[in-house]
Amino acid sequence: MENTKTVSHQKSASAFSYQKVWEKFRSQTEAERDQFLSGSFPVHFDWSISSESFKVEGGWTEHGKGETIWDRFSHEGHVFENQTTDLACDSYHKVDYDVYLLRGMMAPNYQFSISWARIFSTGHKESLIEKGVAYYDKMIDTLLQSGIDPTVTLHHWDLPQALQDSGGWENDSIVEAFKEFSDFCFSHYGDRVKTWITFGSPWVVSNLGYGTGEHPPRVKDPIIASYKVTHNIIKSHAEAWHIYNDNYRKLHGGKVGIALNSDWAEPRNPSSDQDVAAAERYLNFMLGWFAHPIFVDGDYSTVLKEQIEKKKGSCGKELARLPDFTEAEKQRIQGTADFFGLNHHTSRLISESLNSCDAGPNNVGDFQTHIDPTWPPTASDQIQSVPWGLRRLLNYISLEYTSFTKVPIYITGNGMPTEYSGDVFNDTERVDYLKAYINEAMKAVLLDEIDVQRFTVQSLMDGFEGPQGYSQRFGLHYVDFEDPERPRTPKASAYYYSKVTERNGFRAPGGYRRMKMVTLPVTATTRSLRISIVSKH
């Protein structure tokens, strides 16, 4: 009976979260909004740097690794200039080099993902590859020997092609396959890995992989497939969490969560109640699609369900088929996260947009997205620098999702791409971007008392960025993809982020020790860069 009351309370409370956050910030002047806050994060705040397997590893068939959907996608010519994942940054052969970079930055934590097909070539345990398992053993052990904690993501997009051939995330049997893979990783690496992320940005898989078809497996079915995929990912996540909770938590004392990607949604017309409601729907169709079942009540949000039914009624046809969870599944899913992971890069202006009976989240959700032309652009037309959106989103997540479960928020990915030509080392745009976003996270912690415990910068080095290939650079380190040795060189942002983590924020530098940085390879350009950076600070 008490459980029913709790769920009812959660539903009624959550309906007002967006409105509360909007009321809190709507009267801010631009000067107040953009004011820089000096100070430090709490003493145990955690700093991390990330990468993802298919973006950096290469070694695509080495030691029997199975083909992944991204291998297939790139070999079929769907990537900028026909670039592939075959060699990438060659991290498969450069564990010592990559950890050396992290050590040079004095990074406390490294978040990386395991390639499912490197461990189980077909996606199933009987296809175990010992040398693939050993690669991640070496990565974890080398990190720990350097005083760096590993955070491991079990799945960041690169599904084994063999599993895709039998339906991928649309096939219910994948839940069992993911359980088997998760169990193996927990049992083999769990004595050394204390933070696990089940999925990284799964919305991208559901929406771009199975909705628009821009990503592999290139399925264009926004009515049925994308919703089915999310359904199976949520169930897979919950099963992995239970495996850890039942079998490994007492043994290893770690945490398991999920990393969800979301923009902040700001009403385009601040005085329009319709645009405010549309912005709330936007967040329900992006973040809430995954977060509400896991963090609130085991089921999709009322906003999502009612909007889908409303569109079906008004259009006289099905625009989105949202599967049902059984009561047992809801209980199994609810509360299956020890932290709320957030991948966040930008914001959107949202307006109400009615009367479209086409499929796709914007049309089903009755909203339209816009970009403010004054927002600083990046190399991606999908990412603009809107740092204040992060603070608002963290407030929303705290009210809507983590206020009930009392789990902390980890920012598991934040960064921006630059062009692959021009001045690749002196990436002042990225420095400005990181400074502003980290500062907004600090405002959420110090001013709003939001329980944010980690900030992760994406990414350690330039890598393969999906359909854009190597044309968009997210790295703190520049990778020369023309050189078969794939040398890495730190950019200005690498030095900057080291300084922020060493100071634990933005306190005055009085007495802090000189940065220890590595420069590989040493060139005239990087030597002069190093001198200019260190002398400035």
Per-residue confidence (pLDDT) for residue 510, from 0 to 100? 52
Q: How far apart are CA 218 and CA 485, in angstroms?
A: 32
Q: How far apart are CA 168 and CA 454, in angstroms?
A: 32
What percent of the chain is modeled with pLDDT above 70? 92
The shares of helix, strand and coil residues in the chain, as percent rounded to the nearest 5, are 45, 15, 40
| 3-state class (DSSP) for residue 260 | strand
**Contacts of residue 179, Cβ cutoff 8 Å, sequence gap at least 6:** 236, 239, 240, 243
Judged against a pLDDT cut of 50, whether residue 496 lies above it is answered with yes
Judged against a pLDDT cut of 70, whether residue 340 lies above it is answered with yes
Judged against a pLDDT cut of 50, whether residue 532 lies above it is answered with no
Rg of the chain over Cα atoms, rounded to whole angstroms, equals 22
User: For residue 385, what are its two tokens?
Assistant: 């620098």
Q: How far apart are CA 185 and CA 225, in angstroms?
A: 28
Segment 168-193 shows an average pLDDT of 98
Strand partners, 47: 455
Q: How far apart are CA 83 and CA 472, in angstroms?
A: 12
Judged against a pLDDT cut of 90, whether residue 351 lies above it is answered with yes
Per-residue confidence (pLDDT) for residue 404, from 0 to 100? 84
Segment 124-152 shows an average pLDDT of 98
Is residue 517 situated within a structural domain?
no
Tens of pLDDT, residues 257-268? 999 999 999 999
Tens of pLDDT, residues 81-93? 999 999 999 999 9
Is residue 306 situated within a structural domain?
yes
Is residue 514 situated within a structural domain?
no
Helix H segments across 77-194? 95-104, 116-119, 130-145, 161-164, 174-189
Is residue 388 situated within a structural domain?
yes
Nearest CA among 441, 416, 427 for reference residue 346 = 416
Summary count for the chain: helices (H), strands (E): 24, 15
How many structural domains are present in the chain? 1
CATH at 331: 3.20.20.80
Looking at the whole model, is its pTM more than 0.85?
A: yes
Is residue 78 situated within a structural domain?
yes
Per-residue confidence (pLDDT) for residue 512, from 0 to 100? 38
User: For residue 126, what are its two tokens?
Assistant: 């009987």
Is residue 529 situated within a structural domain?
no
Is residue 525 situated within a structural domain?
no
Per-residue confidence (pLDDT) for residue 10, from 0 to 100? 45
Tens of pLDDT, residues 222-267? 999 999 999 999 999 999 999 999 999 999 999 999 999 999 999 9
Per-residue confidence (pLDDT) for residue 445, from 0 to 100? 98
Confidence of residue 508 (pLDDT cuts 50, 70, 90): low
Is residue 528 situated within a structural domain?
no
Tens of pLDDT, residues 381-426? 999 999 999 999 999 999 999 998 899 999 999 999 999 988 899 9
Per-residue confidence (pLDDT) for residue 15, from 0 to 100? 55
For residue 343, the enclosing domain spans: 13-503
Per-residue confidence (pLDDT) for residue 5, from 0 to 100? 38
